Amino acid sequence: MSKEAKPVTARPIREPSLIDGLTPILGLIILLGVSYYLFGEDASYGPNQIALVFCGVVAALIGYKNGIAWNDIRQSVVEGISTGLQAIFILLGVGALIGTWAMCGTISSMVYYGLKLLSPHYFYASTCAICAVAALSIGSSWTVAGTIGIGMMGIAESMGLSPLITAGAVISGAYFGDKASPLSDTANLATAAAGSELFSHIRESLWTSVPALLLAIIGFALLGSPGDFDAKSTLRGLEENVTISLWAFLPLLLVLVLALKKVPPFVTIFASALMGGVMAVILAPQAVATLADNPNLHPALQQLKGVWAALATGYHVSTGDPNVDKLLTRGGMSSMMITIWLIMTALGFGAIVERTGLLNRVITPIINKAKSVTGTVAALVGSCLASNALTSDQYISIVLPARMFRKNFEERGLAPVMLSRVVGDSATVTSPLIPWNSCGAYMSAALGVSAISFAPFCFFNLLNPLLTVVFTAVGFRVLRSASGQKTPPPVESGAGTGT
């Protein structure tokens, strides 16, 4: 005789306390600080990942204490990491692209002609402007940084200029285009989250983006090298040891064409990587055979193995010229695995603090304390920055704060386009400044310098959120809704935090 199954009662879910919310967040801040103190720039090569995993476990335990089932927490981690799959595949594509571009001569040709055309006096400013125009045209900061940005980094290295300032110039220009282009996914996402209209959002964004970009270019111009640079020896080294050809720019042209046609980023980048392999076989077959390192193979199989190796593990060259070797020994999908590890652990932590309500618990008091329009805008900027740091995902940091502040903006009679502009001015542009954010990790991997080192030189990204607060404080571009009246407060209590 079978016994009746006991009914399963769900555990009551309690709202997290402020201490609950602050514990994993402050713990992460402390551990990351200790990580950078102990390991320096090597912190992103493992120590930071351990800190994120540990604090994620702490957040999960707090969530379980408050009644959230383990299966729900586990599923949130799976879903959180899945949101980063596009970024992970783009990273793999960029690694493959760098390997074949180094082998076929795209990178060396970009450096060669860049040394002939650009001067150290205005190099940083030119880099920022070039990347801004390119990103505005195609709407993708990642594509610009992973292609043109790589060439600019090579030119800077050959000129003896600062790679950190160069990376800041690349990112400044790339993110201006990213937030000001109608082709940008972040611009479209900000308008959707705020309930505004795309082209109104673009026009409004220019009021803060253009001054920030001009100030950034002025700053980069002031940092230009005052001395003269003799490029003859570097140019000679490139001419003697690697392939220099205008045909080597075909992979770069393919990127721009596919990006303008709105082909998905991974497909665009990987197609250009394959094009780089084809061009290597045509322009530098001996370099491909040397990388294959198997003279017993049939010549066709040598070429296949060499291209395959460049895609997988990067291009490695020994010309006898250390400057050329350093410029071209790079790339491969395998070079991105540490960055992918960082992104996965960061997204897992972010998913847990969001699912358990810990992030909302920390941000909600900030919303409630905003007593003026300027205070509300400043609170939104701070919330976007905090979300970028805690969820490690740019898209979440656009949608979540916009959703949480939407009712607050409506109650103050502010137009939706102002909400989308402020979100773009803060969430979009601050994402690459966080080393463990997917954007910061990508920029670091693509440009070859740590995010914590280049962040102080991302002038546009630092100025843009500051300007949006300053403009609001002085009453400039404070847009009201169509009626110009505040909407009546809701009957129920609480500040619309959203879920």
Q: Tell me the CA distances in angstroms from 356 to 61, 361, 436, one per residue in order.
A: 10, 10, 21
Band of pLDDT at residue 23, cut at 50, 70 and 90 = very high
pTM recorded for the entire structure? 0.83
Q: Tell me the CA distances in angstroms from 217 to 221, 375, 465, one per residue in order.
A: 6, 29, 17
CA 7 to chain centre: 48
Q: What is the pLDDT of residue 496?
A: 33
pLDDT, tens digit, for every residue of 59-100?
999 999 999 999 999 999 999 888 888 888 988 998 999 999
d(CA 87, CA 83): 8
**To the nearest whole number, what is the mean pLDDT of the chain?**
87
Band of pLDDT at residue 4, cut at 50, 70 and 90 = low
Cβ atoms of residues 354 and 389 within 8 Å:
no
Helix intervals (H) in 370-428 = 373-391, 394-411, 416-423
d(CA 128, CA 107): 19
Q: Is the pLDDT confidence value at 1 over 70?
A: no
Maximum CA pair distance of the chain?
A: 95
Q: Where are the domains of the chain?
A: 87-336
Q: Is the pLDDT confidence value at 487 over 50?
A: no
Residue 330's beta-bridge partner residues?
315
Q: Is the pLDDT confidence value at 495 over 50?
A: no
190's tokens: 């900000």
Beta strand residue intervals within 208-339, DSSP E? none
3-state secondary structure of 474: coil
Cβ atoms of residues 104 and 276 within 8 Å:
yes
Give me the mean pLDDT over the 186-193 stretch.
88
d(CA 179, CA 176): 6
CA angle 150, 440, 416 (to 5 degrees): 115
d(CA 381, CA 496): 17
Q: What is the pLDDT of residue 271?
A: 94
pLDDT, tens digit, for every residue of 107-135?
889 888 888 888 888 999 999 999 999 99
Q: Is the pLDDT confidence value at 411 over 90?
A: no
Q: How many CB atoms are closer than 10 A to CB 326?
A: 13
Q: What is the pLDDT of residue 489?
A: 39
d(CA 220, CA 197): 33
Sort 362 into a burial class: Cβ within 10 Å, 0-12 / 13-18 / 19+: buried
Give me the mean pLDDT over the 435-441 stretch.
91
Give me the mean pLDDT over the 274-284 stretch.
95
